Amino acid sequence: MADELNYIDKIVRDKVANHAVESSLNNWAHIQRAAFWKNFFTFRIFSVNAYYAVAIVMIGIGSLSYFIEPASNVAQFNQNDQLVAETNPSVELNPNNEAANRNTPIAQIELTSKSPIIDSKAKDYQIDYKAELAKPNPSDIAKLSKIEIPSSTEPIALDRKTEIQNKNASLTDVVHPDEISETPSPKLEKEGHADAASLIASNVTEEKTGVLVDVESPTIVDEKLDSENQEEASLLPVDFISEENTIEEEETIEPSLEENLAPESPANLEDAFVLAEQASLIGDLNYMPLRSLVYSNSMAFDPAYRLLYSDTFDYYVPPAERYLWRLGVFYAPIYSTPQNYASNPEVVDVIRQKEKIEKPAMTFSTGVSLQYQGRKRIGFQTGVGVTQLGDLFSRGEYSDITPYSYPKYPEGGYNEIDTILFFNLDSLLQGVEYIDTIFDPQWVEDNTMIEGADTTKYKGAKVQNRFTYIEVPFLFSYNIPGPRLSYTLKLGMAAGFLIQADGKKLNTENEFEIVDFEYDSPKYRKVNYSVLAGVDFNYRFHQRFSFTTGFMYRRNLFDVYENYPYGLKYTSTQVTFGIQYYL
């Protein structure tokens, strides 16, 4: 029989197969625009697209901030910053090595003009300490970190001190007169020596480049001397310890305390007291490792200055360590996608239907966050927020076809049967408006029955499902710092406490009708958990404020309902915008 009707196919095919209908150019403009944007948001390696654009913008911002901002470990210090000695120096890492590894200047100390003496000394030394220092070459830094400067262990005979003073600046140049002690130090009294370290430190004041010093592990200048002569050699000024000036060739006389102090000479007297003071202080200095190495002009490097005017100095402390806690507010539009699945095989068809008519929806998340940044870049984040998940429950017009079999006489002719004569009470009660019934006329095949179908068209419907949670996240974070722009990778979980549910669903008896969830009262899960993963870009535009943006992926761990055959979980992606305050 089917073959007998093949000629119908041929008639139609011959007429319509190559049929053409002219089109308007208005359509073309629309197509061109839409295709451009669709292409733009599709990633292709060899074409311009949104992903490349975002990357270029991010790199641009990063580069800009790199040039605008000095290196991350250069900080400005205010008058309130204090030099604080380490409480437990033995456990502190050698900052020299860290500096060498980082290949960046360790710190730049900026002196304040709090102390007038610094200004005057700066003039004496022709040092512009307020000027920004040029950024050193990383390879130079690596070299500098290996420079060994003797300090603190080399006693120097006081009779040679004058000689040194003639050549170089003495400690008297760097000590405030008020700080001179009236009492000679017991160490000076006993040994008649001053500590070489302070002198050597002051000797480098002429240098205007940065110097790195490892205070923790000072070295002896000349290790070639045998142990027998070490003691003798230690009484000599550093300059004299050389192969040419051996101990044997030059007779050394240990001066007496009285001679060395030279009480008749006010200058010497002053120096003696100064040296005494320094001797005691340098001792402390040896056990006070620097928090960071100093890259600065020599004046700032001078240990005496650091000790005596500690309130005008500080060492650089990286922001991540200084501002461990950050408090922020955020808002994030969410692209929420429903994931339907059947926990009961009997409802597979309904789930398939749901998948066709449920679409992702835009929702939001907002709240406050608290972030802790640890010293090892690892930290955590928590907070509290309101998060809404949901979907767009959208269905276009649909037709419900009711098959029928009905006795009819006489045979032959067409018959129409309308199953809904006036209105569809059931559908109206359920809030689904129908449009009309369309009769499907049927040819009466024999003299007893007609078989056919009546089609009822229903109007489309659009509803939104919304589930609102109070959410408490806990995420581990890994921070990648930069001058201004830092990146934070985050991974963790969030507990969501349901506070409002506005849900619609397909009628289980007639899967083409949308009804309220209250229709058969499913139980909502009151507490649901989600897995969160994302990345934040943190742009610090102020010492204590930063702007944050980022991407976050979220996936429900459990169903929205409890004990319900229609499984529903949400996956969502969000773009976060926020402001953070460094506590």
Residues that bind other proteins (CB under 8 A): 1-2, 4-5, 7-9, 11-13, 15-23, 27-28, 30-32, 34-35, 38-39, 42, 44, 356, 395-401, 403, 405, 438, 440, 443, 445, 451-453, 455, 512
Cβ proximity to other proteins, 167 vs 356, nearer residue: 356
Q: Tell me the closest approach of the beta carbon of residue 362 to other proteins, in angstroms.
A: 20
Cβ proximity to other proteins, 398 vs 519, nearer residue: 398
Q: Tell me the closest approach of the beta carbon of residue 497 to other proteins, in angstroms.
A: 36
Q: What angle do CA 376, 377, 382 make, to 5 degrees?
A: 120
Single out the residue of 372, 315, 332 nearest to residue 554, CA to CA: 332
The burial class, CB within 10 Å (0-12 / 13-18 / 19+), for 506 is buried
H helix runs in 41-93, sequence order: 50-68
Contact (Cβ atoms closer than 8 angstroms) between residue 362 and residue 333: yes
Cβ proximity to other proteins, 45 vs 253, nearer residue: 45
Q: Please state, in angstroms and rounded to a whole number, the distance separating the CA atoms of residues 232 and 226.
A: 10
Contact (Cβ atoms closer than 8 angstroms) between residue 411 and residue 446: yes
Q: Tell me the closest approach of the beta carbon of residue 352 to other proteins, in angstroms.
A: 9
Q: At what angle do helices 158-167 and 196-203 cross, to 10 degrees?
A: 10
Q: Tell me the closest approach of the beta carbon of residue 413 to other proteins, in angstroms.
A: 12
Neighbours of 537 (CB within 10 A): 19
Cβ proximity to other proteins, 56 vs 401, nearer residue: 401
Sign of the dihedral defined by the CA atoms of residues 351, 353, 359, 364, in that order: negative
Q: Please state, in angstroms and rounded to a whole number, the distance separating the CA atoms of residues 367 and 388.
A: 12
Q: Please state, in angstroms and rounded to a whole number, the distance separating the CA atoms of residues 548 and 329.
A: 9
Cβ proximity to other proteins, 19 vs 523, nearer residue: 19
- In 3-state terms the chain splits into helix, strand, coil percentages (rounded to 5) of 30, 30, 40
Cβ proximity to other proteins, 19 vs 376, nearer residue: 19
Cβ proximity to other proteins, 439 vs 553, nearer residue: 439
Both ends of the chain: CA-CA distance in Å? Answer: 85
Cβ proximity to other proteins, 42 vs 82, nearer residue: 42
Cβ proximity to other proteins, 400 vs 559, nearer residue: 400
Q: Tell me the closest approach of the beta carbon of residue 435 to other proteins, in angstroms.
A: 12
Cβ proximity to other proteins, 26 vs 87, nearer residue: 26
Q: Tell me the closest approach of the beta carbon of residue 464 to other proteins, in angstroms.
A: 19
Q: Which residues of 447-477 are buried (b: 16+ CB within 10 A; e: fewer)?
A: eeebebbbebebeebebebbbbbebebebeb
Q: Tell me the closest approach of the beta carbon of residue 393 to other proteins, in angstroms.
A: 14
Give me the phi and psi of 24, to 5 degrees please.
Answer: -95, 155
Cβ proximity to other proteins, 176 vs 408, nearer residue: 408
Tokens 């955590």, residue located:
380
Cβ proximity to other proteins, 135 vs 408, nearer residue: 408
Q: Tell me the closest approach of the beta carbon of residue 386 to other proteins, in angstroms.
A: 33
Q: Tell me the closest approach of the beta carbon of residue 348 to other proteins, in angstroms.
A: 13
Q: Tell me the closest approach of the beta carbon of residue 487 to other proteins, in angstroms.
A: 32
From its phi and psi, is residue 463 left (phi > 0), alpha (psi between -120 and 50) or beta? beta
Single out the residue of 399, 396, 513 nearest to residue 453, CA to CA: 399
Residues 6+ apart with CB under 8 A from 441: 414, 415, 416, 452
Q: Please state, in angstroms and rounded to a whole number, the distance separating the CA atoms of residues 328 and 323.
A: 13
Q: Tell me the closest approach of the beta carbon of residue 52 to other proteins, in angstroms.
A: 14
Q: Tell me the closest approach of the beta carbon of residue 516 to other proteins, in angstroms.
A: 21
Sign of the dihedral defined by the CA atoms of residues 557, 560, 566, 572, in that order: negative
Q: Please state, in angstroms and rounded to a whole number, the distance separating the CA atoms of residues 100 and 428.
A: 78
Cβ proximity to other proteins, 2 vs 91, nearer residue: 2
Tokens 């004046």, residue located:
299
Q: Tell me the closest approach of the beta carbon of residue 399 to other proteins, in angstroms.
A: 6
Q: Please state, in angstroms and rounded to a whole number, the distance separating the CA atoms of residues 138 and 140.
A: 5
